[in-house]
Amino acid sequence: MKATNFAPRFEYTNELVRHLGVIEGSRAVIEVLPLPPDTALRLRHDARQRSTRNSTQIEGNPLDEISVRKAIAAGDRQ
């Protein structure tokens, strides 16, 4: 396999550096804020649905997203 040398062409302008600083500052603030419990629960549930659907597709199972949601909901009630 032949290695290629990629040399991106861009410059760190004052404006770009300023924007990067704003982004980094915002990120630092967001990282210390706790997620509301209902949001954290919804994110975990959504991730579980996507993971389940992707796994079933890899296995060749033709379940659609709605069927996966119903199966997970039925399993959660047991």
pLDDT tens for residues 49-73? Answer: 889 888 888 888 888 888 888 888 8
Whether the model clears a pTM of 0.75, i.e. scores above it, the answer is no
The pLDDT tens digits of the residues spanning 8-34 come to 888 899 999 999 999 999 999 999 999
Q: Are 72 and 48 spatial neighbours (Cβ–Cβ below 8 Å)?
A: yes
Which pLDDT score is estimated for 62? Answer: 82
Which pLDDT score is estimated for 47? Answer: 93
77 falls in which pLDDT band (50, 70, 90)? low
Write the CA distances from 27 to 6, 10, 19, 20, 21, integer angstroms.
29, 24, 12, 10, 10
Other C-beta atoms within 10 Å of 71: how many? 15
Which pLDDT score is estimated for 25? Answer: 96
